[in-house]
Amino acid sequence: MKRRHLVELEDLPWWPALFRDACTDYLVTAIRLTKVYSCAVPRLASALSRTNAAQIIDLCSGGGGPWPQLLPAIRAESVDISLCLTDKYPNAEALDKLVSDLAMARYESESVSALNVPSRLNGFRTLFSSFHHFQPADAKAILASAVDARQGIAVFEATSRTPASLALMFTAPLAVWLMTPMVRPFRWSRLFWTYLIPVVPLAVLFDGVVSCLRVYTPREMLDMALEVESVEYDWETGTDKPPGSPIAIPYLIGVPRNTVERTAETDGTPLPRLEEEERYPTASVASRSVGRTEPDGSIAACYTYRNRRASDSQPS
């Protein structure tokens, strides 16, 4: 499917905060109940360990996303890390509740744009269910900003740009009606705008369909990452399928080179070249697992790339 950058309601500055917060509160509940990001824990914990980061800077946090489950799971992997949540339109009520219940977490009450992260916010950057909101030039700028600041960065989406994901999105209104009683904090206005006048279910459906059409494939994210002018980053991209889900979700992880060891060691034999290397003359493959490229362009296997100068020899 061709990517189409349409506009989601929550991106519009005039969209009422009442509806924006109601939609993000629902999304947080859906993410936590379905545990869609449970598959991200091993990859994210590994990247955090390799960077020795002390803090995660979560961008575009909305109502808090998967962090009530994700942060304890990452810390259970022996990763000593704290969390700072940020957003351009902070959902203060939801974030207040989250950080009061979650150890080692805080949030920025001021607006923080993913395109202009303050230098005082130092740490490994993450984006969950939000990278697709940005045009290619801005998405690339987010990656470049992390590279310039020599911070690790991880992008995880909750859906993919496939016919199956798009079809599944049309069940969103039913999911909203079923899950709304479990959404916290409780608000009478949420019930009114969900059951009596169904603005929230329709808004979730509209934004969900647009999200599917805007999500980047792993190949597209890798294109952006390798266009960033740096010779000191390793990029890993692919798809993961959450337990019980029919949808494989795309991800991209970037780690500063001098903080990691080679992900594959050989006896001196050059690593095999892949088709993708012909497209990226300044990249060399550090590791790969046997796999295939899906019809939608996603990479079923995990490929790890290392940027290098064109004059460099094969990595040793």
Residue from 213, 245, 225 nearest 304 by CA: 225
Q: What is the pLDDT along the chain (316 residues), one digit of tens a residue?
A: 899 999 999 999 999 999 999 999 999 999 999 999 999 999 999 999 999 999 999 999 988 999 999 999 999 999 999 999 999 999 998 899 999 999 999 999 999 999 999 999 999 999 999 999 999 999 999 999 999 999 999 999 999 999 999 999 999 999 999 999 999 889 999 999 999 999 999 999 999 999 999 999 999 999 999 998 666 888 999 999 988 888 899 999 999 986 444 333 333 444 344 444 445 444 444 444 433 444 444 444 455 565 544 334 343 3
Same-domain pairing of 104 and 187? no
* Same domain assignment for residues 125 and 156: yes
Query: Coil, strand, or helix at residue 140?
Result: helix
Locate all alpha helices (DSSP H) within 186-248, ordered by sequence: 188-191, 199-214, 218-227
Domain span holding position 57: 29-161+214-267
Strand 105-107 to 82-85 pairing: parallel
- 219 and 247 inside one domain: yes
Residue 232 placed within a domain: yes
Say if residue 71 is in the same domain as residue 184.
no
State residue 311's pLDDT score: 36
In the chain, DSSP assigns E strands to 55-59, 82-85, 105-107, 124-128, 153-156, 233-240, 249-256, 283-288, 303-307
The answer to whether residues 119 and 48 belong to one domain is yes
Residue 53 falls within a domain, yes or no?
yes
Question: Distance (Å, rounded) from C-alpha 46 to C-alpha 126?
Answer: 14
CA 63 to the chain's CA centroid: 15
Backbone angles phi, psi at 267, to 5 degrees: -85, 20
DSSP result, 219-236: HHHHHHHHHS--SSEEEE
* CB-count burial class (<10 Å; 0-12, 13-18, 19+) for 159: buried
Residue at 287 is within a domain: no
How do beta strands 82-85 and 124-128 pair? unpaired
Residues 229 and 187 in one domain: no
Of 213, 229, 247, which residue constitutes the final position of a domain? 213
Tell me, yes or no, whether 34 and 122 share the same domain: yes
Q: Domain for residue 7, yes or no?
A: no
Main-chain dihedrals φ then ψ at residue 196, nearest 5 degrees:
-85, -50
Give ∠ CA 98-212-227 in degrees, rounded to 5. 90
- In 132-276, DSSP assigns E strands to 153-156, 233-240, 249-256
Q: Look at residue 243 in the predicted model and tell me its pLDDT.
A: 86
* Residue 57 tokens, joined: 């800077």
Distance CA 201, CA 173 (A): 5
For residue 57, give the 3-state DSSP assignment.
strand
Quote the pLDDT of residue 74: 97
Closest by Cα among 92, 134, 125, 126 to 110: 92
Residues 183 and 44 in one domain: no
**How many domains does the structure of the chain reveal?**
2
Structure tokens at 313: 């020899």
Residue 172 lies in a domain: yes
Which of 267, 283, 306 lies at the terminal end of a domain, its last residue?
A: 267
Q: Let me know whether 145 and 105 are in one domain.
A: yes
CATH number for position 78? 3.40.50.150
Measured between alpha carbons, how far apart are the two ends of the chain, in Å? 39
Determine, yes or no, domain membership for 274. no
Claim to verify: residue 200 and residue 107 sit in the same structural domain: no
Interatomic CA distance for residues 144 and 250, integer angstroms: 19
Is residue 169 included in any domain, yes or no? Answer: yes
Give yes or no: residues 125 and 200 share one domain: no
Q: What are the backbone angles phi and psi of residue 31, rounded to the nearest 5°? A: -65, -40
Domain-terminating residue out of 179, 213, 247: 213
| Partner residues linked to 74 by β-bridges | none
Residue 175 domain-assigned?
yes
Residues 77 and 226 in one domain: yes
